[in-house]
Amino acid sequence: MILCILIGMSFKLRRSEWWALAVIAASVVASIGFYPVLPGSVPSHWNAAGEIDGYLPRAWGVALMPLIAVVMLALFIIIPRIDPKRDNIEKFRRYFDDFIVVIFVFLAYLHTLTLVIGAGYPLDLIRFLAPGFAVLFWYVGVLVGHTEPNWTVGIRTPWTLSSEEVWRKTHILGGKLFRTTGSLALLGIILPSLAIWFILVPALGTALVCVVYSYVVFKKLPTRPVGGNT
């Protein structure tokens, strides 16, 4: 929290970044509230079947996710502002700002679920994660579909970074695939025993297809560009 405030003194924070900071603060409050009722070791990892297979000491269990969120927010604040193509980021900044809020709400949601389970409530984590991932992937698709060439956000392969045409075509496809991935993740609510597969397989498949597609489109360019985007 202090790290983000110090960074905010150097970079004027946007509204989305203040919202993200507020979400992190709420996670800290939740951690403090749950701390007295948590056991000495709290769940920190689940296998594909939704069974707990890893634990952390209580202090780390309540602090780790907020700490990760603080570091992520610091990166979200700094990196887009120093990106050599930051002017392009401003062209889709509205979608990027919304994504910042979505990702930190998702992290807070995940943190809350782990606290509730750690406190002894028998929730099916995988089933509850399905709608969270559905929203996250869906909005990744929205963001990707509007992303302009830059070095910070988007599907950054050697081929998309070398050609604006490859970037554009890859991101149009990626946007559609990620939105489809979000829709498929919802099936995990109905079929919780298969939820992890409805989340992981489409996500990994989408990433792989986008990488391969960017290469194929690049190879088909009549004149291949030399160097980065222009």
pLDDT digits 0-9 by tens, 115-160: 999 999 888 888 899 999 999 999 999 999 999 999 999 999 999 9
**Mapping DSSP to helix (H, G, I), strand (E, B) and coil, where does residue 93 land?**
helix
Question: How confident is the model at residue 196, as a pLDDT?
Answer: 86
Please state, in angstroms and rounded to a whole number, the distance separating the CA atoms of residues 148 and 145: 9
| Position 26 pLDDT exceeds 90 | yes
pLDDT tens digits, residue range 73-95? 999 999 999 999 999 999 999 99
Please state, in angstroms and rounded to a whole number, the distance separating the CA atoms of residues 128 and 109: 10
**Mapping DSSP to helix (H, G, I), strand (E, B) and coil, where does residue 220 land?**
coil
The neighbour count for residue 212, using CB atoms within 10 Å, is: 12
Segment 198-205 shows an average pLDDT of: 94
Question: How confident is the model at residue 44, as a pLDDT?
Answer: 87
**Mapping DSSP to helix (H, G, I), strand (E, B) and coil, where does residue 182 land?**
helix
Instruction: Tell me the pLDDT of the chain averaged across its residues.
Output: 91
Model confidence at 32, pLDDT cuts 50, 70, 90, reads very high
Contacts of 147 (CB under 8 A, 6+ apart): 92, 95, 153, 154, 155, 171
Nearest Cα neighbor of 205 from 226, 185, 230 is 185
Question: How confident is the model at residue 46, as a pLDDT?
Answer: 85
Model confidence at 9, pLDDT cuts 50, 70, 90, reads low
Model confidence at 171, pLDDT cuts 50, 70, 90, reads very high
Distance from the Cα of residue 163 to its chain's centroid: 25
Q: Residues 174, 141: contact at Cβ < 8 Å?
A: yes
Domain locations in the chain as residue ranges: 7-122, 124-230
Question: How confident is the model at residue 1, as a pLDDT?
Answer: 56
| Position 50 pLDDT exceeds 80 | no
Query: Which residue bears the tokens 């807070």?
Result: 108
| Position 230 pLDDT exceeds 50 | no
Segment 208-221 shows an average pLDDT of: 96
